[in-house]
């Protein structure tokens, strides 16, 4: 049982009609105020947003003092929220397990607009000092930007170079639910690989689409399925295979053969759509072969948008037609006149690449 003395929070004139001591088995968390606190609001602003503020009239000062009390408690919870396992071990604040889980979930929530500003960049202390621009650009209070930056940086450092599936590592270390852990895993992947997500051509692509695309890359193009593998970096054999495929197809007449095969399988397309579809095949092979180049890999979202997605949008290619196109490209590989040893060695990587890139293109369409 915790005894909390609250007499000091009320004006002396009101104490006669109020109980001065409140006894409770658990600390009461006002989640509405907690949301205002993580949003970076000050006490006065948060108080005015409370539903009971207007109802109290001349007692509004009490509301502000109660809000300040809650904010002070939230400040004291920060070290435990930064390290969620200690939050469950501490007994300084008797909070129910359900409320602890909810506090952790909300503390690690993030704003899409802000995260889009910092993803793919180095999470250094120096960059933290330059968050004013991101705060001004997004309209998000600097205090909230600092919290979100620190959360991502803390998670990034905790799992950097640790073998295993990123989302599992994050969930276990920070006690986040599956969906939030997967989102942070994608953010860590984008940041670790320094993928560019802030290009002008990508400004209309919602962050959740980019995160889901990163999840596709992580599940298919990394060594996560191998012994002691991880999903932080692209698998070396996959990169070698895609480089060999690019050379084998683009530096021979096989690209024309692939286009001919695809043209036959996509014969139901209108002439305009078929022309557009055939034009992106070479771009797909070039993008795949360039994954081993650091600069080209960093620009994969920009290249996909400019070289594949936008041309397909211009010809009004539908999702189901894109699915047919991707399947046709995938099937065409086994029909090419490539050396059998090359086909056997690289077929699996090509199938993995074209299936994954197709999924990402459909997400971005």
Round to whole Å and give the CA distance between 220 and 357: 10
**Which two three-digit tokens encode residue 81?**
């929220």
Residues whose CB is less than 8 angstroms from the CB of residue 78 and which lie 6 or more positions away in sequence, other chains included:
none
176-197: average pLDDT: 97
pLDDT of residue 8: 40
Measure the CA–CA gap between 87 and 108, rounded to whole angstroms: 14
Q: Please report the pLDDT score of residue 204 as a whole number.
A: 94
Residue 11 has pLDDT above 60, yes or no: no
Residue 55, pLDDT score: 66
Question: Residue 178: what pLDDT?
Answer: 97
pLDDT in tens, 61-103: 888 888 999 999 999 999 999 999 999 999 899 999 999 999 9
pLDDT over 50 (residue 9): no
Percent of the chain past pLDDT 70, that is, above it, reads: 91
Q: Quick one: 327 exposed, middle or buried, by C-beta within 10 A (0-12, 13-18, 19+)?
A: middle
Q: How confident is the model at residue 49 (pLDDT cuts 50, 70, 90)?
A: confident
Categorize the per-residue pLDDT at 145 as very low, low, confident or very high, splitting at 50, 70 and 90. very high
> Please, are residues 265 and 328 in contact by the beta-carbon 8 Å criterion?
yes
């Amino acid at each position: 049982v915790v005894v909390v003395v609250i007499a000091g929070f009320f004006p002396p004139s009101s104490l006669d009609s109020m109980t001065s001591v409140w006894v409770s088995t658990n600390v009461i968390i006002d989640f509405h105020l907690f949301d205002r606190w993580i949003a970076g609001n000050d006490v006065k602003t948060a108080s005015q947003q409370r539903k009971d503020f207007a109802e109290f009239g001349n007692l509004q000062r009490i509301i502000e003092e109660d809000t300040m009390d809650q904010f002070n408690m939230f400040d004291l919870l920060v070290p435990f929220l930064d390290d969620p396992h200690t939050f469950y071990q501490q007994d300084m604040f008797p909070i129910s397990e359900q409320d602890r889980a909810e506090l952790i979930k909300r503390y690690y929530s993030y704003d899409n607009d802000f995260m889009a500003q910092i993803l793919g960049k180095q999470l250094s202390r120096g960059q933290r000092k330059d968050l004013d621009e991101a705060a001004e650009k997004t309209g998000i209070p600097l205090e909230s930007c600092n919290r979100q930056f620190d959360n991502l940086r803390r998670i990034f450092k905790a799992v950097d170079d640790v073998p295993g599936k990123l989302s599992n590592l994050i969930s276990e270390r920070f006690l986040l639910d599956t969906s939030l852990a997967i989102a942070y895993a994608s953010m860590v992947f984008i940041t670790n690989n320094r993928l560019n997500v802030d290009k002008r051509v990508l400004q209309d692509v919602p962050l959740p689409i980019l995160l889901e695309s990163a999840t596709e890359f992580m599940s298919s193009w990394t060594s996560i399925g191998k012994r002691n593998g991880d999903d932080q970096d692209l698998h070396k054999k996959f990169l070698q295979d895609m480089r060999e495929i690019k050379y084998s197809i683009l530096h021979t007449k096989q690209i024309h053969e692939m286009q001919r095969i695809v043209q036959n399988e996509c014969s139901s397309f209108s002439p305009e759509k078929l022309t557009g579809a055939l034009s992106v095949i070479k771009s797909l092979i070039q993008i795949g072969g360039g994954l081993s180049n650091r600069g080209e890999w960093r620009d994969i979202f920009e290249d996909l948008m400019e070289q594949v997605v936008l041309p397909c949008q211009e010809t009004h290619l539908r999702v189901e037609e894109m699915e047919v196109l991707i399947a046709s490209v995938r099937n065409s590989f086994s029909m090419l006149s490539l050396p059998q040893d090359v086909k056997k060695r690289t077929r699996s990587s090509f199938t993995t690449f074209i299936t994954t890139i197709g999924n990402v293109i459909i997400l971005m369409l």
